[in-house]
Every structure is written in C-alpha cells, then in structure tokens.
Structure 1
Amino acid sequence: MKKFFAKLLFNLLGWKVVLEGDVDNLDRCILVVAPHTVNQEYILGNLAYWSLGKPLKVIIKDQHTKAWYGFFIKAIGGIGIDRSQKNDLVNFVAELFKKEDFSLVITPEGTRSWVPKWRKGFYHMAMAAKVPIVIAAGDFKDRIIYLGKKISVEDLETRTYEDIMAELEEYYKKITPKIPENWNPKIY
C-alpha cells in the first residue's frame, strides 16, 4: 500500500526517483541526505523509499515521538532522542544495526540553516556499525530524488576521511536545493 501511494503521489507532484546503484544498497546503510534546507525533503525522501519498498529510519527530537502524534512518527521510522542530554549516538546506532536491517537517514548539516561545515557523526556511525554510506539528494530544480550511490565499508576502512568528504562534496555540486542560500557546498 505504501509503495502504491508513494508512486502515485510522486507522479502527482511531478517528482521522480533516480536510482544510482543497486536497489539493495538501500537495505542497510547510513543514508547521507543533503542539501537539507527545508522540511519538505523529509517527506519527499520517505516517499522515495516507500516507492522502492525499503525500510527507513530517522533520528529526531524525542518531543516528536512523545507528542500526541508520536505513534505516527514512530510508524514512519522515527527514533526519538533526548537532545538535552549527552547521548552516545554512534554506539546507539551500531547496536540498532545489530538488531535489524534498515537505512538510517542522517542530515550531516544538522539544521536547515547555512553551516560552515558538516558534522562527522554519520561517518563514525557507519564505521562503528560496519555499514556503507549511501548518498541521497533532492534536486529541486529538476524535481529528482537521487538515491543509491554507495561508499562501501571497504572504502571507509581504506580511504581517509578527507578523501570520503571530497567525494561527497564533488557529488553534491550537481544538486540544487530548495533554498540555495541555506546550503554551503563546502562541506568540510
């Protein structure tokens, strides 16, 4: 039902999904999503995953999972985290991956506003969980969601952090965000 609904809504909205790799890349990974300039990207990303029949989770403020609508947030993959306290998210995520297969959405900018550089947590999560990083992007100019380009576990273990970040930075040069002034293409 989700798959049918997502495909229908994508067609009505005039968006399409472009898969850049094997669809199985989306089964178990840290899904790096950028640019992150509006909340609309979350909805479009969920629809893209649903249209492919893949499980997706996202770490969000726990106020959303504890609110009256929290059952819905959890049902669509929300994992509530209390951001007022220190959390060991890297090991928390590694433990989650031991229990099940899914894609975990991470927006390394950490906000919808302009930032001078990305946070490194997504990289450390992938390393600790021994899962690949998969790249995702919403191009608002062409109305395309790109999914599936993979940086394998082997690449993560043999290449430097700087090399991985340079690859990501180069990849995102082709993407047009909804609010360009909120996006810093220099990510590290």
Structure 2
Amino acid sequence: MISRLANLILRLIGWRTVYSPPPGPKSVVLVYPHTSNWDFPLGVLFNATHPIFIHWAGKDTLFRWPFRGLFLRLGGVPINRRERTGMIGQLIDTFARRESFHLCITPEGTRAKTDHWKSGFYRIALAAGVPVGLGFFDFRNKCVGVERWVTLSGNEEADLALFRAYYADKTACYPEKAGDIRFKS
C-alpha cells in the first residue's frame, strides 16, 4: 500500500521513476546531481515505490529530535562530518557484516556548489567489492531513478569519464550548483 501511495504522489506532482534492480544484495548507489532540499522527499518516494531498501548517509545534525526516529526508520545513517571518525572503514565493515546492504551517497556531499566530488563512495565500493548504481534526479524531465549498475575498474580517470558521460544529460534543480565530476587533486 505504501508503494502505491508513493507512486501516486510522484505521478500527481508530475514525476516518474526509472528502476533497474541491483545485480546483488549489496551496492553503493551514487546519486547526482544533488542541489536541492527537494531531492530528499523525491528520494524517499522513489525508495518507497521500489522493492529495494536503500540506506542513506546524512550529516548527523539532521538526526536530532523531532526527526531522528523517522530518519533512522527511513534508512538514515548519521555521519559526523566535523571530525575524522573512520567513516569509510566503518561503512566497509558494515558491508562485510551484513547479508544485504544498499547505501546511497551523494558524491558532492552538500547541496552547495563544489569543485569536486568526495571520493568516499568510490573507496567504499572498491574495498567492499560491490557494484555502483547510477542514481539521479533529473528536474528537466521530472524523473528520479537508478537506471544502470557498474563495476568500478579502479582506474579513477576511466571511471570518472564513465560518470561524466552518464550524467551529462541529467539536470539538477539548480544546475549552477551541480558539482564538477572529478576528485580533489
């Protein structure tokens, strides 16, 4: 029933979804571009519409009362971005411990304009040996989804070129805020 309701809401606001199931029980789902607060409710509706439970990483300051319980039930994983806490290692360990785990990460790490992507998702996917889902919000075409799955090669430049090609036709809510698809030098 929740799936049908979420799908109805998306249709009523003019959005559609694209979904390709993951090739296995574990994955990192990359979501780009991420420039708007609207990305979160659209992502929650997408997640409720399809038969995959996707966890998502968010800054720990979001997980305060009164939303903490709700965000945790929606799959939120609080991340302390103010200190180095070994988050990458902890998430790799989580992949090793769990039989099924799909983690959504926005590589920009913020809705503001960035000149590079954070490489955490890349290091996690390589170390855990899991595929990467290419998730997106396309505001021009009013479409949200995970359309394609890739296995990273370990060659950063080749993998970044693949991401640039895939995301070239996806339009952010605020295109001027979309981060450059490259890692920090």
Instruction: Tell me, yes or no, whether TM beats 0.5.
Output: yes
Mapped partners of 1:117, 1:84: distance in 2: 19
> After TM superposition, which residue ranges in structure 1, 4 or more long, deviate above 6 angstroms?
none
Mapped partners of 1:25, 1:145: distance in 2: 19
Gaps of 5+ in 2: none
Mapped partners of 1:101, 1:79: distance in 2: 15
Gaps of 5+ in 1: none
Q: Where do residues 133-172 of structure 1 align in structure 2 (5 Å cutoff)? A: 133-152=132-151, 156=152, 158-172=153-167
Aligned to 2:9: 9
Which of 70, 75, 84 is equivalent to 2:82? 84
Aligned to 2:107: 108
Instruction: Report the TM-score when normalising by structure 2.
Output: 0.90
Shift of the 32–24 alpha-carbon distance from structure 1 to 2, 3 Å rule, reads closer
The letter of the residue matching 1:151 is V
Mapped partners of 1:24, 1:159: distance in 2: 20
**Contact 2:2-2:49 at 8 Å conserved across structures:** yes
- Number of residues paired by the alignment? 182
Secondary structure of residue in 1 paired with 2:39: helix
Identity within the alignment, % = 28
Q: Where do residues 45-124 of structure 1 align in structure 2 (5 Å cutoff)? A: 45-97=43-95, 98-124=97-123
Q: Root-mean-square deviation (CA), in Å?
A: 1.8
Aligned to 2:38: 40
Aligned to 1:130: 129
The letter of the residue matching 2:65 is A
**Contact 1:25-1:134 at 8 Å conserved across structures:** no
**Contact 2:117-2:179 at 8 Å conserved across structures:** no
**Contact 2:28-2:102 at 8 Å conserved across structures:** yes
**How big is the shift at 1:3?**
1.1
**Contact 1:7-1:51 at 8 Å conserved across structures:** yes
Bigger proportion of residues as helix: 1
**Deviation digits for residues 55-76 of structure 1, max 9, x if unmatched?**
0111112232242321101010
Mapped partners of 2:113, 2:80: distance in 1: 24
**Deviation digits for residues 38-70 of structure 1, max 9, x if unmatched?**
021121122112111210111112232242321
Mapped partners of 1:90, 1:180: distance in 2: 29
Mapped partners of 2:47, 2:5: distance in 1: 12
**How big is the shift at 1:186?**
4.3
Mapped partners of 1:171, 1:47: distance in 2: 23
Matched, 1:187 2:185: no
**Contact 1:90-1:121 at 8 Å conserved across structures:** yes
The letter of the residue matching 1:96 is T
Task: Decide which moves more: 76-85 or 30-39.
Answer: 76-85
**Deviation digits for residues 75-125 of structure 1, max 9, x if unmatched?**
101111222321212211112222241321111111111111111111001
